[in-house]
Structure 1
Amino acid sequence: MSSLTEGLNRILIWLDEHYTDIASSLSPGLSYGEITKKIGDLPFKLSREVYEIFQWRNGSNNSIFGGASLFSLNGSLTLYQDFKDYFLDSDIKAFPIFANEDSAEYYFAVCETLEELPIITIGFDEPEIIVKYTSLTNMILSIAEAYESKVFIHNERYGYIKIINPNLFQSIRYKYNPKNKVDLLYEKQLIIR
């Protein structure tokens, strides 16, 4: 089992123990062939990590971390087209995976032939690109440890998982995604051109 799937399963176990309704809102995963057929003729190849997350589960109806939900593959393809049209002068080589609808923040996996494929965020309101994680695996491992460290809580009033200890979350995030490495990936401008 890969570190990514192990981290995803740790999140699922935690959700199943604490918020069964959120855990049960995750749709069953797709096969490799189903993913390949659905993505059709994207102008770039999806990374192994992107295939792996959609094989694990194909979206959620609820927030699974910090207000963000996992897109279905169809939802990701639709949002990719929206962003492609939104950034007309850009050659987007990134694929949306998660979204925080409340803050209009979208998490994209960079899909280029690079040694490391970072996770970036882009907001529709303020189209600034921010490198958040060095890889999808490191993102998921950060979130799994954050759950186990009680960094998140389910906000019953608004119906999503929110961060209750931002300093601890930042510390965990940098454990898996060293700040200097995240900054270096941003400086290399690997993202949207």
Structure 2
Amino acid sequence: MSDIKNALTRINYWFRKNHPAKIASLASGLSPLEIDNLFSGLSFKVSEEVREIYQWSNGYLINKCADDWIFDYMYLLSLESGVKEAQTWVEEHEEIALMYKYAGKPILPICMSDIEFLAVVATDDEQTTSPVIHISEIVEISLRYTNLTAMMLTIAESYETGGLFIGFKGYIEKDEKKYAAAYRKYNSGITNLALERFLKRFPEDSSWQTVELLHKDLYMSNSYGIEIPIISLKSKVVNTLLNLLQDEKYDSGFSVVLVLEELRAVDALIKGLQHPSKWVRSRAAFALGKIKAFEAVEFISQLLEDPDPMVQEAVKEALEMFKNQK
């Protein structure tokens, strides 16, 4: 039995034992031929994991679900609904179509709640897994799970350990500490994945959106306590971002500093203190205080005489954070 099938079996068992009504309305799975026929409507390929989940269950039609959420505040879309939604995104006006992509690749929605989605990213032929991304109601896109298998294993273990549970009103609730433990166990490589995608994507698209996407991905993984990645990979990204800061034509240095903050790149942030932009200087100072970079106190203090009042205020806030952290 594959890992994803094992996770789905565990989820099914937990619900049938504890809340059978919530899972009773899930549709039965599709045959491989039915899945192939529906996939023929897609202009891109998806991972083998998607086949496995739809052989387990075909979820709900987009207009037939109630509140029977089992996948962390969301319900499983039927493959028909997912394919139709993906087709709409691809066929929309070019600007809209670009919004529903992750790092330039199209996506297939798997789960939905109101107008939020979890979706899998299109794969190359040889890939058996691909990242799961979250799409907010205002179409902000960020990484959520390393892949669909990691998502299902996280959810299965969270139900079993109390990280996820059904509250008195019948809705899914979360014990953040227990859920984070399960998340770290199965998604430890998600930060590396975000950095690798950035380095691969950046030569093609060096816009602020690419940097902002990396910031969102790192913010999410840091919120769950995922460790900072291997030094060589981090160094490549930091050097790329420093080159951006030094490029006079690049006007989104603030976004760069946010990423450096998430990476705890102290030396790079210290260099940001001397940047011509007041926005970069002020955020670099604030970031160094926030990440407890005591070795930077001397450099930050030099900006107490900065000609811009906003920078001076950020420096004071940073120095105050150091006092509170002692």
TM bracket (short chain): 0.7 to 0.9
Question: Which residue of structure 2 lines up, in the alignment, with residue 56 of structure 1?
Answer: 56
Per-residue deviation, residues 132-182 of structure 1 (Å, max 9, x unmatched): 11110011001000000012222453x43232x123212211211015235
Structure 2 CA distance for aligned equivalents of residues 166 and 152 of structure 1:
9
- The question of whether the paired residues in 1 share the 8 Å contact of 2:163 and 2:177 is answered with no
Question: Which residue of structure 2 lines up, in the alignment, with residue 73 of structure 1?
Answer: 79
- The question of whether the paired residues in 2 share the 8 Å contact of 1:58 and 1:72 is answered with yes
Of 191, 195, 199, the residue aligned with 1:180 is 191
Secondary structure at 2:123's aligned position in 1?
coil
CA RMSD of aligned residues (A): 2.3
Q: 1:189 to 1:97 in 2, by over 3 A?
A: farther
The structure with more radius of gyration: 2
Q: How many residues align?
A: 186
AA in 1 matched with 2:130:
L
Secondary structure at 1:28's aligned position in 2?
coil
Runs of 4+ in 1 over 4 A off after TM superposition: none
Structure 1 CA distance for aligned equivalents of residues 15 and 29 of structure 2:
17
Structure 2 CA distance for aligned equivalents of residues 51 and 15 of structure 1:
22
Confirm or deny that 1:106 pairs with 2:128: no
Per-residue deviation, residues 57-115 of structure 1 (Å, max 9, x unmatched): 000442003211100111112221343327233565211111122xx320011121175
- The question of whether the paired residues in 1 share the 8 Å contact of 2:42 and 2:87 is answered with no
Confirm or deny that 1:23 pairs with 2:23: yes
Structure 2 CA distance for aligned equivalents of residues 4 and 188 of structure 1:
29
Higher helix share: 2
Percent identity (aligned): 31
Gap runs ≥5 in structure 1: none
* 1:25-174 superposed matches below 5 A: 25-60=25-60, 61=65, 62-84=68-90, 85=92, 87-89=96-98, 92-101=105-114, 104-113=115-124, 115=127, 116-123=129-136, 125-157=137-169, 159-163=170-174, 165-174=175-184
**Higher RCO (C-alpha 8 Å, min separation 6):** 1
Structure 1 CA distance for aligned equivalents of residues 187 and 138 of structure 2:
24
Structure 2 CA distance for aligned equivalents of residues 33 and 3 of structure 1:
22
Q: 1:95 to 1:189 in 2, by over 3 A?
A: farther
Structure 1 CA distance for aligned equivalents of residues 199 and 18 of structure 2:
40
The normalised TM-score by structure 1 is 0.85
CA deviation after TM superposition for structure 1 residue 38, in Å: 1.9
- The question of whether the paired residues in 2 share the 8 Å contact of 1:132 and 1:182 is answered with no
AA in 1 matched with 2:27:
S
Per-residue deviation, residues 2-23 of structure 1 (Å, max 9, x unmatched): 1000000000000000110112
Higher strand share: 1
The normalised TM-score by structure 2 is 0.52
CA deviation after TM superposition for structure 1 residue 50, in Å: 0.5
Structure 1 CA distance for aligned equivalents of residues 37 and 70 of structure 2:
27
- The question of whether the paired residues in 2 share the 8 Å contact of 1:118 and 1:185 is answered with no
Secondary structure at 2:73's aligned position in 1?
coil
Gap runs ≥5 in structure 2: 206-326
Structure 2 CA distance for aligned equivalents of residues 181 and 145 of structure 1:
23
- The question of whether the paired residues in 2 share the 8 Å contact of 1:69 and 1:98 is answered with yes
